[in-house]
Every structure is written in structure tokens, then in C-alpha cells.
Amino acid sequence: MKIIKTPIEGVFLIYPRILGDERGRFARTFCKKEFAEAGIHESFVQFNHSLNFKKGTIRGMHFQHPPFAESKLIRCVQGSVTDVAVDIRMGSPTFLQHFSIELTAENMISILIPAGCAHGFQAMEDNTALIYHHSEYYTPQADAGFRYNDPALNIRWELPAVNVSEKDKNYILIDKQFKGIKI
């Protein structure tokens, strides 16, 4: 397993060592010891599975307010997505900057998104599925987000947006008053 830092502090890419033979493929996608050696000490309390029927579907940009802010370890297990993390931490040198990567069932790459970053993705194929590992329980009163197409975020989605939930369409736009969340 290779764990790579990204330009946004705390966002890591996890490249598994993929072994293959005539039976198929095998890869370790999480190792507490290897994560700890890379300075990652997350404990995961909830796993979720997202299935997205239509290519172009966008979910995001989601986060939870402290004290329920959560880290997420995300991997695509079917199809492919463009996955995006946005730094919304107060005082961060990369405040409101984003990082994106293509996650596919084929490449088996995972992304670790720390507490204090908003998360979203766009399905690049029909019937795309993701597995999420969360460091905090879903807490409805802490649930929040920003619009996926907020000009302040300047995220360039590759496909036209389809199947965006009403909730995601109606999140607030980031304005000049937003100073970030304190983690």
C-alpha cells in the first residue's frame, strides 16, 4: 500500500498493491498499522454504500459541523467517479481550495478526506457505487453542505449535472462572510 499526501493538508490518496492471477485480483484497502506510519489515526464507526444509477449524478458538497465533523475514507467499487474534497477549515492555507481524483473500481484507489473538508462526487458511468468509512456517526442536526456548482468553489465537473437532489441544489452559496469551520 502506498499512501500519498495531496496539496490539501490531511487529504491522502491510498494506492493499494494489487495482486492478480488467473482467479482475479486482491488488494488490501486499509491497514491500521500502515495508516499510523503515515500519521493517520482515524477510527471508523460507520460504513455506507452509495449506488448511483445515472452517469452525471452529483452528490455533494457535504460535511458535518463540529463536534460531529467527520473524516471519510472513500473507494469506488463499481464504475467510476470524479471525487472532490474542499478545504473549509478556518485559517487553513488551502481554505476553499479543492482536490479531485478519478476513483474507479479498476484502479482501487481510495481517498481519505479529513474533518473540515466538504466532499462530493460525480458518477462517470451508470450504476456507479462507492463505499464510505466515516469517523463519526451521521448526525442530522450537524449535517451541512455547499452547492456543487458554487462559483466560489470553482469545481469543474466533467459531465452535465443530472440527478442532483433537491437538498444539494438548495444548499447555500459560499459568500464573503464564510470564514470556515473550526476543527
Q: Which residues are catalytic?
A: 62, 132
Cell numbers at 22, concatenated: 488467473
* Under 8 Å between Cβ of 148 and 63: no
Q: What's the CA gap between 25 and 31, in Å, rounded?
A: 18
Q: Which residue, 68, 57, 75, is CA-closest to 148?
A: 57
Task: Please name every residue paired with 108 in a beta bridge, in sequence order, or none if there are none.
Answer: none
* Under 8 Å between Cβ of 118 and 96: no
